[in-house]
Chains A and B, each alone.
Chain A
């Protein structure tokens, strides 16, 4: 079956621009996670949804970062007024329910110039 998909795969933004990153989880998966992976580092947790409810946003680095999942399926991570330190790969993962494996998408590589 189809896995987790993310779009765009690559995004170049000028500093100060707003960007929107999309994640399509595996159909029927209840939980959805966003992670940020800086170059040469492990992924770091950003935020977590269960259906449309955002249950944990403790990892969002600033109020410029905003995520939503209005219908409990597709999710969008929005970054306002991008800064160079936002350059990273943004990974999305989903799982069917608690105690299930998280399945990761290929990521969106964001470069802020």
Chain B
């Protein structure tokens, strides 16, 4: 079984400042890792995913994440946020890329002008 911990439930950040959202996972098998974003009243949208290969993954909207196997982490970063990045962000793992997802509790990002 897998589990995901998102260490921050809320992250306030000023516009154009950098942001990092932390995600740690536990699993007895190799996992695939994902970050999804959920805007108000909308479905989940994939930001990026790690399946294999380079541990630095670049996604949409200027986001990137780094897979660290030794620390079982997959933190999400953006060097300069916009007001439009205000949303809830979910880290998720899967034991296979097409299989069910196990989500963390989410991190709400509030970008202030």
Taking Cβ atoms with an 8 Å cutoff, the residues of A that contact B are 3-4, 31, 33, 35, 40-45, 48, 56, 59, 91, 93, 95, 97-107
B90:A42 contact, CB within 8 angstroms = yes
Binds A, one of B14-22, B64-72, B76-84, B97-105: B97-105
- What are the nearest 10 A-B pairs in CB distance? A98-B98, A42-B103, A104-B43, A99-B97, A104-B44, A45-B100, A106-B43, A42-B105, A43-B103, A42-B106
**A43 in contact with B100 given A99-B51, A101-B49 (CB within 8 Å):** no
Contact sample, A vs B, 9 pairs, CB 8 Å cutoff:
A40-B106, A42-B4, A42-B6, A42-B104, A91-B43, A98-B97, A98-B99, A99-B97, A107-B43
Q: Which of A40, A59, A102 has the most CB of B within 10 A?
A: A102
Q: Chain A binding site: helix, strand, loop or mixed by DSSP?
A: loop
A4-B43, A91-B43, A107-B43 known; A44 and B103 CB under 8 Å?
Answer: yes
A100 CA to B4 CA, complexed, in Å: 21
Task: State the majority secondary structure of interface residues on B.
Answer: loop
Residue of B nearest to A34 (CB): B100
Considering the complex, which residues of chain B in the window 26-49 have a beta carbon less than 8 Å from any beta carbon of chain A? Answer: 36, 41-46, 49
Most buried by A among B4, B51, B101: B101
CA of A35 to CA of B44, assembled, Å: 11
Chain B residues, CB < 8 A from A101: 46, 49
Judge whether B96 is part of the interface by a CB distance below 8 angstroms. Answer: yes
- The CA of A4 and the CA of B43, in the complex, are separated in Å by 9
Whole-angstrom CA separation of A6 from B46 in the bound complex: 18
Chain B window 85-113, contacts with chain A (Cβ cutoff 8 Å), 1 for yes, 0 for no: 00000101000111111111110000000
